[in-house]
Amino acid sequence: MDLQKLHLAPTTRPYPRPTIHHLRIVLASGLLFLLFLVSYYTTPVASISYRTAVRPSPHRASAVLARCRQLNAQAGPPQDFHQRRQSDRFEEGTSPVLIQNATIWTGADNGTEVVKGDILLDKGLIKGIGHLARAAALQTYGDDLVVVDAKGAWVTPGIVDVHSHMGGSPSPALSGAEDDNSFKGNIQPWLRSLDALNTHDDSYPLSIAGGVTTSLVLPGSADAIGGQAFVIKLRATAERSSSSMLLEPPHHINASFPDPNLPPRWRHIKHACGAHPYVVDKKCAVYDGTRMDTFWDFRQAYNTAKQIKERQDAYCAQALSNDWENLDDFPEDLQWEALVDVLRGRVKVNTHCYEAVDLDAFVRLSNEFQFPVAAFHHASEAYLVPDLLKQAYGNIFITGKPPAIALFAIYARYKREAYRASEFAPRVLAEHGLTVLMKSDHPAVNSRYLLHEAQQAYFYGFPENLAIASVTSNSADVLGMGHRIGYVTKGYDADLVIWDSHPLALGATPVQVFIDGIPQLDSPSVVSKPDNFQQSPKVPNFDDEAKKAVDYDGLPPLLPKKLPFDTTVMFMNVKAIQGIHNGTIQQKYLAREEAKLATVVTHNGSIVCYGTLEKCSKFANLQDPDVSVIDLEGGSILPGLVSFGCPLGLEHINQEPSTNDGSVYDPLYDSIPDNIGGDSSIIRAVDGLQYGTRHALLAYRSGVTVAVTAPIHDGFFSGLGTSFSLGASHKLEDGAIVQEVTAVHVSVRHLSGPSISTQIAVLRRQLRGPFKGETGLWFKKVRLGQIPLVVEAHSADVIATLLVLKKEIETESGRNMRFTITGGAEAYLLARQLSEANVGVILSPARPFPHVWEGRRILPGPPISNNSTVMELISNNVAVGLGCEGMWSSSARNLPFNIAWAAIESGGRLSKEEAIAMGSTNVLKLLGVNMDDTKVDLVATRGGDLGFESKVIAIISARQKTVHMF
């Protein structure tokens, strides 16, 4: 534009008269401006909707002011809460109870207070603790009083599970009730787990039988914000409704925007970060993305909530100053009100976050939008970044505490995020002043045994007081319910557990469970245990291992130290020696007093002498520098254990295909390529073995020296199993392969593919012939009894059909088949028939759970039933082995605990040798591994044999002609 040509028109020039055209322009411009104003003042950056604006009238002023004053009210119990005389959950007709002569872990003084005395329960509350006179109680309550003599037994608060999907993902799992995950969007704070809380879940009574009285039921982790969570008590109610199970239900469950005059109650919400939201959803083809996408979704959501909060605050600032000019309706939105409440500090944020990168991002999110975090769940790398966690918003000035960390004890490496998880995380975090909670993630991990998570944490060095608190008082506090549950205190809810042993003793089982003062166990089965089970268990020292876990950034070296060939090792102060003779566990030595502790000398991985030091001195001299001397401090030498059920040797990280052998083709589901033999091909697990996995090495360090593994499969056909050493470095090492082919493995289950009858028809066809190709070759061996047929089956109906088929084939062939059932949840129903057919069972898991319909009829064991599944089978002379479960390869290391637990639960009916056999010789026999007594690995333990008191310090391997030291 040429600036010199510009000139101004005279100011005195009259304006032209407006034309119709001009008026139209003015009206249109005004209308557009009006629409802009409406849009500007009613829509934040993220689109939300409001109710129709209505200017408050004077008579509504009090309601508006009440709403505004409520904005800053903090959640929690009213000030007079502990003056209550009756619980809001009290059931009419509940009798008062006096528990006498108890050892009471109260939860007070950071879990260190233990009181000897009595507890009075009435009206759903704890009415008194101390030395209470029975006569006075009888005078008050008369014949209604129920007196329970605890006989010195431990009493704790009810177990509190901070991470459960009970009810939302009920058991047995059925497609019509899988409601814990929504795939409608990545951000859904408006969803509520209460709306999916199914009252028909077989888990409720089972978890109560483990002492669990309260659970936080969370939505799943498919979404970054999966919805609101709710705290429930597990007992059945007279109303039989989901709502009646709630503990302190938020007022929002019956009103979109509740009465502002009511004191706010704690609310809970589920978040998930890291890989999980998108990994889950990729499988369902809902949305795709990265960690960056997840946190942008978080930020957008919280920005929307922040804008609403700011509008509310501005609105109320004006209203509270008595300025009603231009005030329309209160700004709120039903979809986002829960997140607004998060920003007001009235919602407990529970966040599924594993890795340091995710924890860091979420800590930054909490600071950006200024909201406290109640707990990080799973948090497998939290122990590596404790100082980061203390930087979360509100640590010092708001909540006074950093977020709690809710963990598994030993479950790890099932996905990449959990690869660096450590059994030492609880103790490390506690040393840094962080609150640690043990959790279940039910039904993925059975919450009935939540206490066992605390027991394992204690075994690896988590302090005793904090271990018990991690599933009681600290859990209750983190849920915002520490004013009424989690402690044995006068005025608190009458939620108690009487235990048959010290709560941290392996196999501790409730004698009775009270919820709201109501006993939950009818005629409980109680196993008699020795007096020493009432004492705090003695556990090994893992200080060095815990330090290395941190020093090596979660991946400490696990390979054992292999002593050179021709090395002599002398083990001192050995209490017991068990060995194998003709395939049977036998006790070779037992010192019944300390003076009789033995000396054991090994050379090239074989025992050459045991007995007195004098006797064995001819084989080794204590003064010889070439002799390695190891003090077992009253420990034992026993046969190495055998794992089956987890794909040890075929996977590093379960959910990372590039780290695994992968699944085999299945002729019932797939077309098998001709170049591997078509439908007559059979896959060998030995060909896919991977040595040196962390699962295998940790199991080896726990005394599990051999694994039997079948090819990974998703349907009917698996292939040929193999047996290998968990301590070997590679396949070509001496002794690395124990037996190349062990058995033929198949599964007969109610899966999504061909019917059970079809699967049985295929088995019948394979066993009858004609025997074609390699598959035919191996099934012919099965028919002739040369190798076992190992069938995974859980349903008693399927197992019965398999027994009929076995008899049919044996009648035709005139030969006895070798047949083993694995899984076996309902096998006890056919215990006599299995014994008559000479069919053994490997229970996987060792303590069955009704995950699916075909395994719903479990035998729960004490305190619900007299016999466990193990004892029911053994009582009928069925050979039993103990296996581990599917994706939880990290649990293979727990086989010694499972063996000891089964023995404890037997009440003395199982000898130590019979118990060890369930994890060794029985497994080998049932899976077709030929035993050479002279080649069996031996395990040296310090401080004990099986259970919590011992630590494996060496493997004596005759097969590899060496001793492995840890």
Distance (Å, rounded) from C-alpha 503 to C-alpha 650?
Answer: 36
Residue 54 has pLDDT above 50, yes or no: no
Residue 467: CB partners within 8 Å, gap ≥ 6?
A: 426, 438, 454, 455, 457, 458, 504
The per-residue DSSP string of 401-421 comes to SPPEEEE-SS---SSGGGTT-
Q: Report residue 389: phi and psi, to 5°.
A: -65, -30
Q: What is the pTM of this model?
A: 0.92
Compute the residue count for the chain.
966
Which pLDDT tens digit goes with each residue over 675-685? 888 888 999 99
Q: What is the mean pLDDT of residues 945-958?
A: 93
Burial class (CB in 10 A: 0-12, 13-18, 19+), 730: exposed
> What confidence score (pLDDT) does residue 534 get?
96
CB 231 within 8 A of CB 479: yes
Confidence of residue 59 (pLDDT cuts 50, 70, 90): low
Distance (Å, rounded) from C-alpha 201 to C-alpha 192?
Answer: 18
How many C-beta atoms lie closer than 10 Å to residue 777's C-beta? 12
CB 414 within 8 A of CB 888: yes
Confidence of residue 16 (pLDDT cuts 50, 70, 90): very low
Q: Report residue 172: phi and psi, to 5°.
A: -70, 150
Q: Which of 648, 697, 636 is CA-nearest to residue 915?
A: 636
- CA dist list (Å): 623 to 552, 570, 627, 684: 36, 11, 8, 50
> What confidence score (pLDDT) does residue 14 get?
34
Distance (Å, rounded) from C-alpha 966 to C-alpha 959?
Answer: 18
Distance (Å, rounded) from C-alpha 466 to C-alpha 395?
Answer: 20
How many C-beta atoms lie closer than 10 Å to residue 24's C-beta? 10
Residue 817 has pLDDT above 70, yes or no: yes
CB 33 within 8 A of CB 25: no
CB 210 within 8 A of CB 449: yes
Which pLDDT tens digit goes with each residue over 201-225? 999 999 999 999 999 999 999 999 9
Residue 332: CB partners within 8 Å, gap ≥ 6?
A: 50, 51, 257, 308, 312, 340
Residue 37 has pLDDT above 80, yes or no: no
CB 888 within 8 A of CB 878: no
Burial class (CB in 10 A: 0-12, 13-18, 19+), 243: middle
Q: H/E element holding 812?
A: helix 796-813
Distance (Å, rounded) from C-alpha 459 to C-alpha 943?
Answer: 13
Distance (Å, rounded) from C-alpha 767 to C-alpha 789?
Answer: 10
> What confidence score (pLDDT) does residue 330 get?
92
> What confidence score (pLDDT) does residue 885 get?
85
Q: H/E element holding 361?
A: helix 356-369
Residue 48 has pLDDT above 90, yes or no: no
CB 847 within 8 A of CB 884: no
Residue 280 has pLDDT above 60, yes or no: no
Q: What is the mean pLDDT of residues 779-784?
A: 97
How many C-beta atoms lie closer than 10 Å to residue 672's C-beta? 18
Q: What is the mean pLDDT of residues 787-813?
A: 98
Q: What is the mean pLDDT of residues 581-596?
A: 93
Q: What percent of the chain has pLDDT over 90?
A: 84
How many C-beta atoms lie closer than 10 Å to residue 692's C-beta? 15
Distance (Å, rounded) from C-alpha 113 to C-alpha 109?
Answer: 6
Tell me the sheet residues that pair with 572: 631
- CA dist list (Å): 558 to 409, 637, 737, 856: 18, 22, 20, 39
Residue 468 has pLDDT above 80, yes or no: yes
Q: Which of 584, 458, 672, 535 is CA-nearest to residue 154?
A: 535
> What confidence score (pLDDT) does residue 398 get?
59
Which stretch of 15-24, 262-271, 361-370, 612-621 has the lowest confidence by average pLDDT?
A: 15-24
Confidence of residue 21 (pLDDT cuts 50, 70, 90): very low
916 φ/ψ sector (left φ>0, alpha ψ -120 to 50, else beta): alpha
Q: Which of 388, 392, 385, 361 is CA-nearest to residue 273?
A: 361
Q: Which amino acid is at 944?
A: G
Q: What is the mean pLDDT of residues 49-56?
A: 44
Query: What sign does the dihedral 872-874-878-879 (CA atoms) show?
Result: positive
CB 632 within 8 A of CB 651: no
Q: Which of 166, 254, 160 is CA-nearest to residue 487?
A: 160
Distance (Å, rounded) from C-alpha 434 to C-alpha 439?
Answer: 16
Count Cβ neighbours within 10 Å for each residue of 320-333 and write b for 16 or more, e otherwise: eeeeeeebeebbbb
Answer with the residue of higher pLDDT: 435 or 274: 435
- Helix intervals (H) in 191-290: 203-208, 276-284
Cis peptide before 863 (omega within 30 of 0): yes
Task: Tell me the two tokens of residue 711.
Answer: 């090819």
Task: Tell me the two tokens of residue 243.
Answer: 């709502």
Q: Taking every pair of C-alpha atoms in the chain, what is the biggest distance, in angstroms? A: 130
Residue 319 has pLDDT above 70, yes or no: yes
Q: Average pLDDT over the chain, rounded to whole?
A: 91
When computed from its CA atoms, the radius of gyration of the chain, rounded to whole angstroms, is 33
Residue 792 has pLDDT above 70, yes or no: yes
Q: Which amino acid is at 537?
A: P
Distance (Å, rounded) from C-alpha 286 to C-alpha 884?
Answer: 33
Residue 464 has pLDDT above 90, yes or no: yes
Distance (Å, rounded) from C-alpha 649 to C-alpha 46?
Answer: 50
**Strand boundaries in 760-816, DSSP class E:** 789-793
Tell me the sheet residues that pair with 436: 405
Distance (Å, rounded) from C-alpha 419 to C-alpha 698?
Answer: 13
Sheet holding 212-217, edge to edge: 159-164, 212-217, 225-233, 267-272, 347-353, 375-378, 404-407, 436-438
Which pLDDT tens digit goes with each residue over 234-278? 999 999 999 999 999 999 999 888 889 899 999 999 999 988 675
> What confidence score (pLDDT) does residue 10 get?
33
